[in-house]
Amino acid sequence: MPKKVIALLGSPLLDGNTARLLDEAIRGAEEAGCEVERIAVAHLDILPCMEYFQCKESDTCLIPDEMADYYRKFREMDGLIIATPVMTMGVPGRLKSFMDRFQVFYMAKYHRGRSFISPERRKKRKTLLISIAGMNIPDVFSGVRLTVRAFGEIIDCPLWGEVLQNDMDTVQDIATRSEVMEAAYRKGYELGNLLG
């Protein structure tokens, strides 16, 4: 049975530079034998976390939207690819809201001491981060890394690898950086092989 990978697109642009890098990583993971589901987070019909804290005592969330499907998919997945631009030194708001809704996982793991993911499965699950930034400044990816690392810990799918490209205000078109496109493909393929 093929390993399941979820590929989150954090950019609202479905065919922009971030999306093109994500598609290369997906191609690599698929060629390594994985089944990949691409999710354009900015286009989901979900609400932000309202901190009702029902999830403190339960495996469910009170907000009536499609997140229940994603909770199931994130329990079943073997790997995760997150592709996001840097916005205000962090991840875009819709992606952050999506991540924040995983309080259901947080409460299960840290408050009830019963993570949805077994220690054995956690050892095998991995997250690949792909990110671009407009500016060419020191530490431009620090906020994104911290957020993705924290999210990976909450969902028991630790950050494993990354493909980063800064100075996109100058570069403009990621296709002109063939080495970065190839790195995204290679990392996706490597992720797929490690999961297999």
C-alpha–C-alpha distance, residues 155 and 194, integer Å: 19
Locate all alpha helices (DSSP H) within the chain, ordered by sequence: 17-31, 67-76, 93-100, 103-106, 119-124, 142-154, 168-171, 178-195
Q: Please tell me the predicted confidence (pLDDT) of residue 65.
A: 93
Q: Would you say the pTM of this structure is higher than 0.85?
A: yes
Asked whether the predicted pLDDT for residue 59 surpasses 90, the reply is no
Phi, psi of 162 (to 5 degrees): -155, 155
Query: Which is it for strands 35-40 and 79-85: parallel, antiparallel or unpaired?
Result: unpaired
Calculate mean pLDDT across residues 183-192: 98
* Of 17, 25, 16, nearest in space to 127 by CA: 25
* Second CATH level (architecture) for the domain 4-195: 3-Layer(aba) Sandwich (3.40)
* Of 122, 173, 166, nearest in space to 144 by CA: 166
More confident residue, 52 or 28: 28
50: left (phi over 0), alpha (psi -120 to 50) or beta: alpha
The 10s digit of each residue's pLDDT in 145-177 is 999 999 999 999 999 999 999 999 999 999 999
Q: Please tell me the predicted confidence (pLDDT) of residue 131.
A: 98
To which H or E segment does residue 38 belong? strand 35-40
Locate all alpha helices (DSSP H) within 32-92, ordered by sequence: 67-76
Calculate mean pLDDT across residues 175-185: 98
Calculate mean pLDDT across residues 51-68: 88
